[in-house]
Amino acid sequence: MNKNSHVNKWVEEMAALTQPDKIVWIDGSEEQAEALRQEAMSTGEIIKLNQDLLPGCYLHRTAINDVARVEHRTFICTTKKEDAGNINNWMAPKECYAKLEKLFRGSMKGRTMYVIPYSMGIVGSEFAKYGIELTDSIYVVLNMLIMTRVGTSVMEALGDSDDYVKGLHSKADLDEENRYICHFPEDNAIWSVNSGYGGNVLLGKKCFALRIASYIGRKEGWMAEHMLILGIEYPNGEIKYISAAFPSACGKTNLAMLIPPEVYANKGYKVWCVGDDIAWLRVGKDGRLWAMNPENGFFGVAPGTNEKSNPNALATTMKDTIFTNVVHNLDNNTVWWEGLDKNPPKNAINWKGEKWDHADGSKGAHPNSRFTAKAINCPCISSEFENPAGVPITAIIFGGRRAKTAPLVYQSTSWQHGVFVGSVMASETTAAATGAVGVVRRDPMAMLPFAGYDMGDYFAHWLKMGEKITNPPKIFNVNWFRLNDEGQFIWPGFGENMRVLMWILDRCDGKADAVNTPIGYLPKAEDLNIEGLDISLGTIKELLNVDKDLWLEECKGIREFYAHVGSRVPKALYDELDALEARLSK
Ligand code: GTP
Ligand code: SPV
Ligand code: MN
């Protein structure tokens, strides 16, 4: 089917290892996709949902021990251990290949190997990067068809080149004890075995577009970040773009698709989504930082998505969507999840495939259940979504889930200080990865599980990028998740977050005032627009409170974290830490 001898040779080698019964090349056509859906339905791998209510939509359930990314089984395999750094799990490439070859040997016997040529970015464009994923899972094929640009056009764009990411995936027997997600940045290769869950197996996403791409980006002078990209349109038609890095399940999809509250909507403000999870950022000829979304769809968290919190995401999932690990409503053959509405279905199957009665108090959908939906089906998709150059970024936002400590918003005082703010981010863990939920951990730039090389070098790369951007975005930090003493969220969040974004853009425009505090610039409480909100000025002051003792404690934690990251943490960041501590101690 193709003329690229590098690709043919590699596919042959991998087939010799995994021994599939047959090999099928994915061409990107609807006919082929439909035939695969039919096959997956016949085996129960996917269930066709009510086509009147949810046209083109299907339900899939993963194995119950395979519902999230497995960070402890994710490896960066560089020749030198130092290059992977202290934060990443490391194995020597030779050792890792040998170990995984045993698991892959014959793993596709009796199965089909699908060859998926895909592009991250617009096929044929300057910044696009190509990958080929070999997989024995139709579910993976169907998801990749939504999440990336797939098919014959990618092979044409690749031509005779061997510059593509070689991804090998097999479900094998889904053995948790032998589950490995391994990256070989020096070989442009990813091997994933014994999982069938999203981030572990849709190799274009976290594995390529973040881990491998961050490694390539460092060499080539650009950045691959765990960031949403959104545009805010002013009543005069001008659009300003923001990118924001929050850890997994901390609100990127929600912010990227936000609906302006009435105070802004009535004046003609609009919000456009360019991306909800990953941004590739480059310095443009104009000296600004430009961001593009390499993906073609959304792999979004289902629970909590509803008509009020994120109507745009909900609308996006009304057609051509694969739902994973949600509740199956047997009465009308649709889906449900916690937080969709207050009417859990009576006649239902839970994410484990069992008859489910919500009255027993158990969750029907897995907390990390997801929808895979096409970006073009999103009502607020940006007109720049398909622009290969991306969009110019005015502000970068970092944020996480912090019950106390971090205020609603603050601004860094320089690029270097902003990089410091990003590097010390911390957040409570969520269901997006296996392990304990709700534990505060450092998650620099929301990249802790995704940097493809040493974290200290990664910080240095951020600082170096700052030197190249003559007109850099301003850097901010937000926290939508502050809790009161009763454990409730103080800030209403979701669409109301636009009020904070407007202060941020006003700051970038030199239009808003600020208070200079030890941690950075904070809004004056009166300067946040709370018109139409049932919230007092006193509450805003509480949200903006900076507790010096908590922050001094924080500094200790940061010092420990930097020590753990290791010797490559740039001195400039230690200078920032010393200066912060000095300001707090005054
Ligand atoms: P990944 O896809 O894992 O990278 O997650 P994400 O960062 O895109 O997070 P998402 O927008 O899917 O939100 C995750 C959860 O946080 C959902 O249950 C949301 O309902 C909830 N959430 C999002 N934004 C807010 C907010 O502003 N306030 C509160 N309280 N919850 C929010
Ligand atoms: C995340 O966990 O940050 C996700 C979902 O966006 S996954 O694709 O599983 O990584
Ligand atoms: Mn994510």
Q: Work out the average pLDDT over 31-47.
A: 98
The answer as to whether 54 is a domain residue is: no
Please write the tens of the pLDDT for every residue from 203-234. Answer: 999 999 999 999 999 999 999 999 999 999 99
Q: Work out the average pLDDT over 490-512.
A: 98
> What b/e string do you get for 525-558 counting C-beta neighbours within 10 Å, with b at 16 or more?
bebbbbeebebeeebbebbbebeeeebeebbeeb
Return the axis-axis angle of helices 548-565 and 571-585, rounded to nearest 10°.
160
Last residue of a domain, one of 198, 221, 244: 221
Q: Work out the average pLDDT over 56-77.
A: 98
Other CB atoms within a 10 A radius of the CB of residue 459 amount to: 24
Residues lining ligand 3 (ion), CB within 5 A? 248, 277
Q: Which residues are CB-contacts of 181 (< 8 A; sequence separation ≥ 6)? A: 69, 70, 73, 74, 75, 190, 192, 195, 200, 207
CATH of residue 341's domain is 2.170.8.10
CA 382, distance to chain mean position in Å, is: 18
Q: Which atom of ligand 1 is nearest to the CA of 277?
A: 4
Give the single-character DSSP code of 406.
Answer: S
Task: Give the residue whose CA is nearest to atom 4 of ligand 2.
Answer: 248
Q: Work out the average pLDDT over 105-133.
A: 98
Would you say the pTM of this structure is higher than 0.85? yes
* Closest among 89, 429, 406 to 248, alpha carbons compared: 429
Q: Are residues 124 and 201 in the same domain?
A: yes
Q: Are residues 315 and 284 in the same domain?
A: no
Percent of the chain with pLDDT strictly greater than 70: 100
Q: Are strands 227-233 and 370-374 parallel, antiparallel or unpaired?
A: unpaired
Residues with CB under 6 A from ligand 1: 246, 248-254, 276-277, 300-301, 303-304, 309, 432, 480-481, 489, 493-494, 497
CATH of residue 572's domain is 3.90.228.20
The answer as to whether 59 is a domain residue is: no
Q: Are residues 331 and 432 in the same domain?
A: no
Q: Are residues 140 and 274 in the same domain?
A: no
Q: Are residues 404 and 539 in the same domain?
A: yes
Task: Give the residue whose CA is nearest to atom 7 of ligand 2.
Answer: 199
pLDDT at position 184 over 60? yes
Q: Work out the average pLDDT over 175-199.
A: 98
The answer as to whether 552 is a domain residue is: yes
The answer as to whether 57 is a domain residue is: no
- φ/ψ of 571, rounded to 5, equals -60, -35
Task: Write out the residue range of the structural domain in which residue 197 sits.
Answer: 5-44+68-221
The answer as to whether 51 is a domain residue is: no
Ligand whose nearest atom lies closest to the CA of 74: 2
Angle in degrees, CA 400, 404, 410, rounded to 5: 60
CA gap 442, 279 in Å, rounded: 21
Ligand 2 mean position to 248 CA, how many Å? 6
Ligand 3 mean position to 62 CA, how many Å? 19
Q: Are residues 560 and 458 in the same domain?
A: yes
Q: Work out the average pLDDT over 36-55.
A: 98
Last residue of a domain, one of 377, 405, 427: 377
Q: Rounded to the nearest 10 degrees, how much is the dihedral formed by the CA atoms of 566, 190, 63, 108?
A: -150
Looking at residue 2, what is its pLDDT? 75
User: Could you tell me the two tokens for 165?
Assistant: 């990411």
CA gap 242, 288 in Å, rounded: 13
**CB of 169 closer than 6 A to ligand 2?**
no
Element (H, E) at 270: strand 270-275
CA gap 398, 34 in Å, rounded: 41
Q: Which atom of ligand 2 is nearest to the CA of 205?
A: 8
Which residues are 503's β-sheet partners? none
**CB of 251 closer than 6 A to ligand 2?**
no
Q: Work out the average pLDDT over 513-521.
A: 98
E-assigned strand segments in 429-560: 440-442, 474-478, 515-517, 520-522
CA gap 408, 399 in Å, rounded: 9
Q: Which residues are CB-contacts of 182 (< 8 A; sequence separation ≥ 6)? A: 74, 75, 77, 91, 96, 100, 190, 191, 192
Q: Which of 253, 277, 434, 488 to mutate to test the pocket of ligand 1 (most atoms within 8 A of CB)?
A: 253
Q: Work out the average pLDDT over 51-62.
A: 98
Q: Which residues are CB-contacts of 377 (< 8 A; sequence separation ≥ 6)? A: 315, 316, 318, 319, 320, 321
The total number of structural domains that make up the chain: 3
Q: Are residues 242 and 318 in the same domain?
A: no
**CB of 260 closer than 6 A to ligand 2?**
no
Q: Which of 205, 295, 298 to mutate to test the pocket of ligand 2 (most atoms within 8 A of CB)?
A: 205
Q: Which residues are catalytic?
A: 250
Q: Are residues 480 and 510 in the same domain?
A: yes
**CB of 60 closer than 6 A to ligand 2?**
no
| Residue carrying the six token digits 């936002």 | 397
Q: Are residues 367 and 436 in the same domain?
A: no
Q: Are 111 and 136 in contact (CB under 8 A)?
A: yes
Q: Which residues are CB-contacts of 346 (< 8 A; sequence separation ≥ 6)? A: 331
Ligand 2 mean position to 366 CA, how many Å? 14
CA gap 468, 340 in Å, rounded: 45
Q: Work out the average pLDDT over 235-253.
A: 98
Ligand whose nearest atom lies closest to the CA of 250: 1
**CB of 206 closer than 6 A to ligand 2?**
yes
Amino acid at 551: W
Q: Which atom of ligand 1 is nearest to the CA of 276?
A: 8
CA gap 432, 211 in Å, rounded: 17
Q: Which of 299, 301, 371, 430 to mutate to test the pocket of ligand 2 (most atoms within 8 A of CB)?
A: 299
The answer as to whether 53 is a domain residue is: no
Q: Are residues 92 and 157 in the same domain?
A: yes
Q: Are residues 214 and 338 in the same domain?
A: no
Q: What three-state secondary structure class fits 65?
A: coil
Looking at residue 3, what is its pLDDT? 87
Q: Are strands 334-336 and 327-329 parallel, antiparallel or unpaired?
A: antiparallel
Task: Give the residue whose CA is nearest to atom 14 of ligand 1.
Answer: 249
The answer as to whether 60 is a domain residue is: no
Ligand whose nearest atom lies closest to the CA of 246: 1
Last residue of a domain, one of 377, 398, 419: 377
Please write the tens of the pLDDT for every residue from 280-318. Answer: 999 999 999 999 999 999 999 999 999 999 999 999 999
Task: Give the residue whose CA is nearest to atom 4 of ligand 1.
Answer: 248
Please write the tens of the pLDDT for every residue from 422-447. Answer: 999 999 999 999 999 989 999 999 99
Task: Give the residue whose CA is nearest to atom 1 of ligand 2.
Answer: 248
E-assigned strand segments in 102-158: 112-120, 129-135, 149-150
The answer as to whether 19 is a domain residue is: yes
Q: Are residues 149 and 26 in the same domain?
A: yes
**CB of 199 closer than 6 A to ligand 2?**
yes
**CB of 377 closer than 6 A to ligand 2?**
no
* End-to-end Cα separation, the chain, in angstroms: 70
- Model confidence at 1, pLDDT cuts 50, 70, 90, reads low
| Residue carrying the six token digits 């038609």 | 237
**CB of 252 closer than 6 A to ligand 2?**
no
CATH of residue 140's domain is 3.40.449.10
